[in-house]
Structure formats: C-alpha cells, structure tokens
Structure 1
Amino acid sequence: MSLDKKYLKLLSEKYPNQLTVSTKIVSLSSILNLTKGAEIFISDVHGEHEAFQHVMRNGSGVIKQKIKDLFTEELSEKDIAQLATLIYYPKEKLELIKKDSENIKEFYRKTIFRLIQLTRGFASIYASKKLQSLLPSGFNEIITELVAERDLGEENDYYEHLINSIIEIEQSDNLIIQLSFFIQKLAIHKVHIIGDVYDRGPGAEIIMDELMNHYSVDFQWGNHDIVWMGAACGSETCIANVLRLSLRYANTNTLERGYGINLMPLASFALEYYKNDDSIIFNPKVAPDEIHSSSEEWLNRLMHKAISIIQFKLEHQLVKRRPEFGMNDRLFMSEIDLKNGHVQIEGKTYPLKDHYFPTLENGYLTKLHPEERFLMDLLVESFQKSTKLQAHANFLFEKGAMYKVTNKNLLYHGCIPLNSNGLLKEVRIDHQVYKGKELMDYFDKQVKLAFSARDSSEEKKKGVDILWYLWAGPDSPIFGKHKMATFERYFIDDRSIQKEQKNYYYTYRDNAETCKMILEEFGLGPDAVILNGHVPVSVKEGESPIKGAGRLVVIDGGFSKAYQDQTGIAGFTLMHNCYGRQLIAHEAFDSQKVAIAEEKDVAYSEVFLDQSETKQRIRDVDDGQIIKERIDDLKELLEAYRSGELKEKTV
C-alpha cells in the first residue's frame, strides 16, 4: 500500500464517510475567511510579573483602543479609563466603583451592555468551536446568549429583560468579572515570548503560570531561560549560576517560594566557611531599601560568595571535559596563586581584589571541597524534585525553540553570529562547522536531547552541557559575546579584562543588507521582519528600536526595572494584527494597586511599521496555509470515497 493510501486510511478513521468529510471541509473553508487575530510579541520580562500581567490584561493596548473605537462619542476619557481598568482588574475595580456609585443598578445595566458589545467585537475573529472552548465555565450559556448575533437595537427588550434578570438575582458582579476575563482572552490571539522570562525580577514563576494558562504561546529561548532549563535538568553548573544570580539581585523569592528550593544547606555552608569574610564585593546589587536588615545583607553576601566560588570550579571542570567548546582561555581557576594573591588570565598576571578563599586551599582550586560536593548533591536533588520547576522547564521545552518563523516574522532572542566582515560566522563545534540557520538548528537539536534523551546517555550529558554553553559560550547565539567575564568583574580591578565584546551582529544589524541576508538565510523575503530581544534599547540616548531600514525591530526596551535607568522606558511590545505591525512603547509600571486606584495604563506611544487598509484573513497567513493543506487532504479522501477506492462507514 502506498504512503498516500495509508495516510488516507488513517484519515478515514476520523472522517468515516462523505458527510463527515464534507462537513469538515465546509467548516475549515469558513475559518479561512475569518479575520487574522492579534499576535503580541514580548521580550526580556525578567521576572517583572506585575508589569507583564498588566500588558497581558490590557492586550498591549488593544482593549482600550477597541473601547475608544466603540464608545468615543458617548464616553469621556475618564469613563474610557474606568471601563478599561474594570476589564483589566474586574474584581478589585468593582469593589471601588460600588463604594462610589449612586445608582449601582444603572451602572450594572450600562456596563454589561458595553461589555457585550466589546465581547462581540473581539469574538468575531474566532470560529464558534474555538469560542466555545474559551468560554468561562458556569456562565457559558448566559454569555453565549448575550453575545449572540442579534441587533442590539431591535432586540433591545430581549436584552433589557435578560440583563435585568441578572441584576435582580444579584449575579451582576460575577457576570462582569467573567465577561472581563473573557475579553482579556479574546483580545490576544497568540503570545510570542522572545526570551528571558527569568532572573532579576521577583516573579518569573508567576509569569510562567500565566503563560501556561494561555491557549496559544510559543517561546524563543533566551540565555536566562536556558540556564534555568539547565538547572531543572540537573546541570550543576547551571544550578550554581541560577543561585548566584538570584543572590546577586537579592531575589530568592522565585527559588524559595516559587519552586520550593531549600537554601538552608547553602546558608549553613556559607556560615561555616565564610562567616569571617568582611569583603563587600559580593553585596547584593539592589537599592538599600530592598534589603530588610544588615544581617540579611550579610548572610546574602556570604551565600553569594560561596556559590560563586563553586560556580567557577564547576565551569572550569565543564570546559576541561568539553574541549570542543573552544573555551580553554577560561581555564583560569588553576592559575590562581593563593600565596601571592594573583591570577594569570590570557597570559597576563592580575592581582586579586579578594584574598579570602577557604575552599580553594589544600589542592581544591578546581576540585570541589568535600563539603561543597555534599552541598551540590543536596541542591541538585532539590532542583530535580521541584514539581513546579520541572513543569515550567518542560513547558519551555515543548513550546520553545532557538528561533521561529511565523507570518513573515523571524523571531530569535540574541543574534545570528557574524564575522567582522558582516557575513555569517562559521562556528566549529562537535567536530563540524555550522553557520546561520544550520547553527540554530544544531543547538535546537541539542536542547531537545538534553530533555528527551535517555537518562545517563552520552547524548543527554552532552545536551545538558550545551545548555550551559548557550548561557555563556563565545559563539552562543543567545549570549552573543566573546566571554562572560563574571570572575573578572568580581576579583580583578582592571576594566580592560572585564570587557565582554559583543558579536559583530550588533555592529551590522543596523544595515539593511545584513538584515536581508539573515532573512534570506531563513527562507524569507524582504517584506519579512526580524523581531529581536536580549540587548536593551537605550531610548534616552537616542537609540531607535527600529533598525536595518525597518527590517529588524528590537523589542527589549527595559521591561526589567534593573535596566530602566539605562533605557529610559519600560519596554516595548509589538502587535501584529489584521492591519499590520505596530510597535508599542511602555511607561514604567508602578503597581497593580496604583493601576486600579488611579486608572493608569502603561502603553504611551505607537509606531506603525506597516499598515494596510485591507484586513488580512486567516487564508493570508501561516495558519491559513495549514488549513488549506488540510482541506486538500480531505478533498482527496472525499474523492477516494466517491470513486470506491475506500469504503464508507456509518456512524
């Protein structure tokens, strides 16, 4: 039997006769004529969960714009802001509105009518089956009835009676809350995260929970995501990096409260070996008011130093066992001279700023001290037994990739490595040479092996080590620098050795021809756009996020509070709707409490990258091509039934 015949036989199990096939063809054909939904692209959130949740709740400005489109003539700016805030935070805002309302029944009636109109506006792009799957449980029948395609004018009595009944039985609050959450769901059709959910901010796990609850999400891994994925896989080197970064920014909430990682063994170890260390090199990198007490700062500093020393030893060991990584210039731990207090790096000797190294003495420069070994065993067990961390890492693996091509957008977090002449860099790794798309595909495969290969297999061990390489390797596309100079920044008072040189990609990405070359490498034409994260855009210094004559857009503008002094804003998002692409800049987000009480939003400016007067339909985008292929397959099955090649079955 031919492969085509086998495929048709498999397809016939789902569609056993002409009627079922014909019905599905009609259904899919109707979907092709629906309007393309709004896609939101977000990068470098870095644990800022409240700001992220706000952007998700407001649809990156889409919801407020729809309110303006529908109600500008009847609502003031203040009323528009109140209705928008009610949709973003319905439970909290309702409580405030009810306290101030003189006629709550009239408020309920008008608000429910407006929410119905908004829901209809957003629901029109969804197929009925998809819409039903998104309806909130408990109110699905009522909401279905309320948003049914009836004329609100002619059927006014019907809706008046229905809404009055809801008010009468005191279900208005519940209905408003459910309609608001439903509108939030409908406003964003797809969410694309272009890397770095983790580190710096306090709530990466909250962001991950939110993304897991959305019905359409994909990831392009960032270097900070990859190191957490490596930690979840049991990589000791990645675990040490994750712990060091969390302590560096005095942010252990995600570790302890989010993932249940027990830090007591690290605290006990640090107190035993580093309690007499008075160096301030390892003080947390946060504002003084973010540290609760001097004793907390002291313990944080000791733990920070303890895990950093362990990290440097583990990295030395990994580089030693993976010569194919080409990182022998990072084998400096064995070059430390404890007696004279200096270290040799790249053939030059540097004095050390710190001389207190109790766990490096007696032959333990590159080897873990027995107590360090015991500590790491406990930490690995804690990371691997964290149910939530494992669930989030698996979600990143299942939904993630090194890059994605979607609707003429090329998404990746860091860079496509280039040479000094602007051409694709040939990277030798694993005894072969890769460049451009091939390099990204190679790393994508290795990440998958880290998660899916048989435990203890060489493929898995190598994949796990490559997760660390992607975090800090000189030719890692998601790191994009020639070295990670963490050791040098801590211990050497010479800025020249601390310098992390960016890949030439960052020199050439302003060049339109370079962007065109990269797009062609991934099979895309000049009308496509690269969407890039990783390196914040310094808006206050006059840097533009739009580069390469519009062929590349950087959407990391400083979501993380740690970067906002440098960038001058609080991040970008990009919205790609049925009319084209639109870059949205954001103001700093104070807090949910301020957003609710003062009705403050964060989107403050928009740049239209490309706009069309004609709406794009599903048939015009990637999803449409998939549906068209499915229709062609079904038509072939239908013909097989009609010709008698396959026998029909009754259901």
Structure 2
Amino acid sequence: MKINNIPDEQLESQLKYLKLLSKQYPSISSASAEIINLEAVLSLPKGTEHFLSDLHGEYEPFVHVLKNGSGVIKRKIEELFGNIVSEAERKKLATIVYYPEQKLDLLIKEEEDLEDFYRITIHRLIELCRYASSKYTRSKVRKFLPEDFKYIIEELLHPDESSTHKDGYYKSIIETIIEIDRAREFIIALSKVIQKLVVDRLHIVGDVYDRGPRPDIIMDTLMNHYNVDIQWGNHDILWMGAASGQKVCIANAVRISARYANLDIVEDIYGINLLPLATFALEAYKDDPCTEFMPKVGEGEVSTKEKSLIAKMHKAISIIQFKLEAEVINNNPEFDMKHRLLLDKVDYEAGTINLKGKVYKLKDTNFPTIDPKSPYKLTKEEEDLVDKLVASFRGSEKLQKHVSFLFSKGSIYLIANKNLLVHGCIPLDSKGDFMSMKINGKEYKGRELMDQMDSYARKGFFYKKSPEKQFGMDIMWYLWTGKCSSLFGKDDMTTYERYFIADKKTHVENKNPYYTLREDENICNKIFDEFGLDYEQSHIITGHVPVESKKGESPIKAGGKILVIDGGFSRAYQGKTGIAGYTLIYNSYTLQLVAHEPFSSAEDAIKKESDILSTSVVVEDIARRMYVRDTLDGEKMQEEINDLKMLLLAYKKGLIKEK
C-alpha cells in the first residue's frame, strides 16, 4: 500500500482505530521507525519450523530432539568446524550445547587446563551462535539473550570485522569472564540461546498424552517454549475432557494409565487420589485374577503383587467406563453410537455375548458389579468412586494448568504458512465427500464441523455448569471415539471386544475412507479448497497412524501433498515403525523429513556423548527461497505496515495530532 494512494474515505473510516494506534506510536518519527523496521523484517528468510507428532509421554527423546534441533545443531557444527576440529571435539561441543550444565560438571573435573578449555569453548560457541542467528534481526536475537549476559553476548555476536581497533576489547571480554569465574554460567547461557535459535516455531501435531512415562514433563517443556502451537490429538482431548470433569473421559484416562502401568502419572504427578479405586477394586475383585487386565509392562518393571493390584483396578474402571458410556450415548442421539452399548447384549448365565446376530464366548465371565437386569446402572460404591474421581480431576492444579495451556495454544486444526495441520484425518465418506453430523439440530461437515467441535470443546472446559458445558464435555468424549472425529478417524473403538472376546475379527476398527482416498490428489485438492489452501504450495501434515517404515511404507502420500509424521516416538509403536519418530523441518529453502533412531538415555548422551542418529530426506525443494513476507506472520506484519501508513498520513493531514 502506497501512502499517496490511500483514499480519504478509507482514512476517515479508520480514524477511531488510528487514534487508538496513536497511543502506541505517538509521533511521525515513531510510526516511521516501526514501518522501516517491519519492512526490513519482511525481507529476511523465514524462520525454521519443526513439526513433531505422537510423543505419547516419551519425554527423554522429545527433550533431546528439542535440544539438538532435530539434528540441526550437529549439522551446523559440521558445517562450521568439520575441517578444522576433530570429530571427538565436535561431539563434545554438541553435547555441551545440548546439556550444558550436566556436561560441564563432568568436564570441569576432567580438564587439565580448565581456563584454556573455557577459552576455546566460548570462542566456538560464539561462532556457532553467530552462524545460527545470522538470518534474524538483532532485536529478535536480543529477546533470546539472558539478562545477565545480554550486552556481552550482543557485543561478541556483532564484532566490527572491518577494523582491528577493538580486537583487544573482544579478547578482554572473554578473558575477564574466565578470570572472574563466570565461564560456566556464560557457556550455559550461550548454549541455551543456540537451542532457541535453531527452532523458530514448534508445532506439535497431537498426542502428548498416554502410554509413555512422563507427559507432564513434555507439557512443562512446551509451556516454557517461546513459540509453540499444538493440534489436539485424540489422547490429548481425552485428558482435556477428564480435566473438565467428563466422567467417561476420566474412566478412559485412568483405564489407559492402568493398562500401561502409568498410574503414578495420575496419582503422583497430578495428585489424583486413586486409593478409593484401589480399595473398591480389591473388595469387588478380591478372588478374581483379572488375567485379561494385566498391565502391558516389560519383565521385572513391576512386581507381581503390584501387577495384581493394577489388574484389579484396571478391570474395575473398565466396567465403570462401559456403564458410563450408556448415559452419554443415550443423551446424545446425534452421536449415532447406540450400537456401542454392549452390556445388555451379554447372556450373563451362559457367559456369552450376541454381536450382530453372532454369539461369542466371553474370555472373562466374572461381573460382580453388573446387575443383568440393569447392566448400565452403577452400584452405590461405583457412584461414590466416580464422584471422588471427578472431584480429584477437577481439583488437580497441575492438570488444570496443563489443560488450560492446551486450550490456549491448541486447536482441532491449524493453518500455518499454507499448511494444514490436523492430528488424524479429514473425515470423508466412501465417495470422498465430507462426512456430516448434526449438532443441535443443524447439519455440519468439513471445516465447519471441525470448527463447531473446537468451539464446543472450549465450552466444555471453560463454561460453568450448564447444558452447553455438559454437551461440550460430551463432544470431547466423542472426539476421542466418534466416527466423525478428525482426531480418531475410525468407525468404532472396540475396547470391550478386545478385553472380552477372543475372535480378533470383532476387534477390527475400520479406518475412515480418508486413509484409502488420501493418495488421490483430487481428494487432497478438495480438502485444500475446503480450507482455502493452495494446490501447488500447501500440504496436509498429520500423525496418529504410525508409518510402518520398516515394511517400506512412505510417510509421503499423494505425491508429497500429505505428510504423515507419526514415526514412533512411543516405544509401544517402534516395533511397527522400525524407527523412533520423525521431525518435519520447514526452513526457507526446503521441506525435510528427519527420521530418528531410538534414544538410549539422557545419561548416555551426557556421559558417552551419544546423540540420536537421524537421517534426513528432502521432501521438497522450495522453488524460490521463502522470506518472512511469504509467511502468515508476514501477512500480519504487512497489515500492521498498512495501518501505520494510514496513521502516518493522518498525522501529516492533521487528522490526528502528534504527542
């Protein structure tokens, strides 16, 4: 927008807004300076985006990948020092950047000439930091600098190379840092700045929760990250519903934690009292071995006595879950899930169940809490237990904080720089049309349906007690398990069948037609149209379904239009994927898919300087280098520039007075 081309009518129509803007930019000089700054930023290369998915509580490999920038830091060290520094020294430097406090504590004990080690390390880190920061403005880099060393680092990052007059000045800074015993703290500060510089924006494409040991550490790490967004996964929405007080979500969250022997997450980390469940389970199933409910753990990870208790708790909460589902299904006929009510299909005397006209023998026939005449009715003890769990989940300060963050930084889908990010799929029918669903009597499909579900999930968490809150909580459960859910992507969740029926044909969960149609580029283009995206430049980035790379499956679908980045961060899936996760990296030149090998431990990384072995494949070379002006942030900046130009003109015409 040229200032001289702004019509008077447009200026006058925006005068109220421009007067508000003038409080931030009270003069011609301040508005001009910001226009110059923003125009310059638009000409910089776009920052590097990192996409990860399906972390499932595996905090150690996730934290390491974040620290090493999915291998970017190692590559930059190779580019800078590959021909002048030994491999051993390069590995040591990389480990210092990843784990500065822990690695320095070890090295300080080992180094014979500590001052020389500090001197060399600081020089190398300054050079690495300068290289990593080269495509950002000084003001942006300044935001990453710790207050204690802000001025010093900035001076060292921007030396006057055209003059030798300040050589002694720069040398004196480093020597003084060493002399006054601040080298350790300075190296730690530099390392953390480098970590931040290589990941300009972090996208988590769903499923922080379940299976792995510490989703809470992942959540704390994300909350400390300066630029992150999260597309909710089905396992995330389950915990979000549980934190809201949705009873079936609570039962599911506890059940899955018991299944993987992760009840300490519920009890120790989130402070949710499981003693009532343990007491109830021991009483109700005291003589029941609960064989089908033994937790999925490795040999020796849990004692026999503990496994027995967990199995009883697992069975108790599973039966409660199946009962609770009936109320939600019956109260929400639009969910179309009546066929999932199975407790009334059981012949409790014969120990069989009739499914779709076929009778199956049950593997487990001990149901002391089920009244065959009213199989969905909770016993008084079960009702009390559920009420206590609801109070505990709602009262968990840490869980509420984590879920609030998922709402503030998350969404059911996101459009970021012409890419559509969604955890599972875009629900389609067999003809390739968008699946539809009625909500409050109105039919929705495609993007509009997903927007409605996103909105109701927020109401379910934030609203006070009301019919809308209850429906919003129920929608969160539906997003976990319903056929029109973009997070689930299947027609049914056959939990009951897996526990109680041996015939694996009953365990089948049919994937949404999207998964067979997604290789059709016409289908992709139809989705792009729905979300206002570009046929040539846009991609759909998803997770949810592990890519079986060891069988030769490619994560790149539909000629590169769809990228599936669930590569098995969760150990539970690594046997299927053959790798230990993907990172998608989108910089100004390329779109790269990085496959990670299994991570041993942070301790090995620190002591043995072992890194995650990662291999990178270029998915797409960008035809023209991308700049900030080509991004979503760039579009917002351009809008700011246009507004500031109008403000400038208003000042010049005397419509607004300078202050």
In structure 1, the residue matched to 2:608 is 598
* 1:82-105 CA distance string (max 9 Å, x none): 111110011111122233323222
2:643 counterpart letter in structure 1: D
Residues 613 and 599 (structure 1), Cα distance of their counterparts in 2 relative to 1, 3 Å cut: farther
User: Take 2:475 and 2:55, find their aligned partners in 1: how far apart are those partners?
Assistant: 24
Of 435, 438, 446, the residue aligned with 1:425 is 435
In structure 1, the residue matched to 2:526 is 517
In structure 2, the residue matched to 1:289 is 300
For structure 2, list consecutive stretches of 5 or more residues without a partner in the other structure: 1-10
User: Take 2:657 and 2:88, find their aligned partners in 1: how far apart are those partners?
Assistant: 65
In structure 2, the residue matched to 1:309 is 319
Is 1:247 aligned to residue 252 of structure 2? no
User: Take 2:555 and 2:281, find their aligned partners in 1: how far apart are those partners?
Assistant: 43
- Secondary structure at 2:291's aligned position in 1? coil
Of 72, 79, 83, the residue aligned with 1:73 is 83
User: Take 1:10 and 1:413, find their aligned partners in 2: how far apart are those partners?
Assistant: 39
Q: What are the residue-to-residue correspondences of 1:76-475 with 2, within 5 Å?
A: 76-151=86-161, 154=164, 155-291=166-302, 293-361=303-371, 363-453=373-463, 455-475=464-484
- Secondary structure at 2:434's aligned position in 1? coil
- Give the drift of 1:326: 0.6
In structure 2, the residue matched to 1:483 is 492
TM-score of the pair, normalised by structure 1: 0.96
Moved over 4 A (4+): none
| 421-430 vs 57-66, greater mean Cα deviation | 421-430
User: Take 1:234 and 1:152, find their aligned partners in 2: how far apart are those partners?
Assistant: 64
* 1:102-159 CA distance string (max 9 Å, x none): 3222211111011111112222333333333322232223222322343399444322
User: Take 2:559 and 2:277, find their aligned partners in 1: how far apart are those partners?
Assistant: 50
Q: What are the residue-to-residue correspondences of 1:590-629 with 2, within 5 Å?
A: 590-612=600-622, 615-629=625-639
RMSD: 1.7
2:394 counterpart letter in structure 1: Q
Of 559, 567, 578, the residue aligned with 2:588 is 578
* 1:611-643 CA distance string (max 9 Å, x none): 248542211211111101100001101111111
- Give the drift of 1:182: 1.3
* 1:367-399 CA distance string (max 9 Å, x none): 111111111111111111111110110110111
- Secondary structure at 2:415's aligned position in 1? strand
In structure 2, the residue matched to 1:493 is 502
User: Take 2:63 and 2:234, find their aligned partners in 1: how far apart are those partners?
Assistant: 22
User: Take 2:467 and 2:90, find their aligned partners in 1: how far apart are those partners?
Assistant: 59
* 1:399-430 CA distance string (max 9 Å, x none): 11111111121110000111222333333444
| 121-130 vs 47-56, greater mean Cα deviation | 121-130
2:222 counterpart letter in structure 1: L
User: Take 1:472 and 1:171, find their aligned partners in 2: how far apart are those partners?
Assistant: 54
Contact 1:50 1:592 in 2 (8 A): yes
1:159 counterpart letter in structure 2: Y
- Secondary structure at 2:610's aligned position in 1? coil
| 142-151 vs 58-67, greater mean Cα deviation | 142-151
- Secondary structure at 2:148's aligned position in 1? coil
User: Take 1:153 and 1:342, find their aligned partners in 2: how far apart are those partners?
Assistant: 88
1:479 counterpart letter in structure 2: F
1:487 counterpart letter in structure 2: Y
Of 547, 567, 575, the residue aligned with 1:557 is 567
- Give the drift of 1:241: 0.3
- Give the drift of 1:445: 1.6
User: Take 1:56 and 1:618, find their aligned partners in 2: how far apart are those partners?
Assistant: 23
Contact 1:60 1:603 in 2 (8 A): no
- Secondary structure at 2:293's aligned position in 1? coil
User: What is the aligned-residue identity percentage?
Assistant: 50
- Secondary structure at 2:563's aligned position in 1? strand
In structure 1, the residue matched to 2:56 is 46
| 124-133 vs 175-184, greater mean Cα deviation | 124-133
- Secondary structure at 2:14's aligned position in 1? helix
2:488 counterpart letter in structure 1: F
Contact 2:238 2:253 in 1 (8 A): yes
User: Take 1:137 and 1:312, find their aligned partners in 2: how far apart are those partners?
Assistant: 54
2:180 counterpart letter in structure 1: I
Residues 413 and 153 (structure 1), Cα distance of their counterparts in 2 relative to 1, 3 Å cut: farther
2:52 counterpart letter in structure 1: I
User: Take 1:425 and 1:521, find their aligned partners in 2: how far apart are those partners?
Assistant: 13
User: Take 1:202 and 1:83, find their aligned partners in 2: how far apart are those partners?
Assistant: 30
Contact 1:584 1:603 in 2 (8 A): no
User: Take 1:96 and 1:153, find their aligned partners in 2: how far apart are those partners?
Assistant: 39
For structure 1, list consecutive stretches of 5 or more residues without a partner in the other structure: none
1:497 counterpart letter in structure 2: T
| 54-63 vs 347-356, greater mean Cα deviation | 347-356
- Secondary structure at 2:292's aligned position in 1? coil
Contact 1:320 1:331 in 2 (8 A): no
User: Take 1:556 and 1:153, find their aligned partners in 2: how far apart are those partners?
Assistant: 51
Task: Give the number of aligned pairs.
Answer: 647
Residues 612 and 605 (structure 1), Cα distance of their counterparts in 2 relative to 1, 3 Å cut: same
Contact 1:536 1:567 in 2 (8 A): yes
2:204 counterpart letter in structure 1: I
- Give the drift of 1:494: 1.6
User: Take 1:519 and 1:613, find their aligned partners in 2: how far apart are those partners?
Assistant: 20
| 52-61 vs 353-362, greater mean Cα deviation | 353-362
Contact 2:425 2:486 in 1 (8 A): yes
| 90-99 vs 425-434, greater mean Cα deviation | 425-434
In structure 2, the residue matched to 1:632 is 642
* 1:531-551 CA distance string (max 9 Å, x none): 110000001111011110111
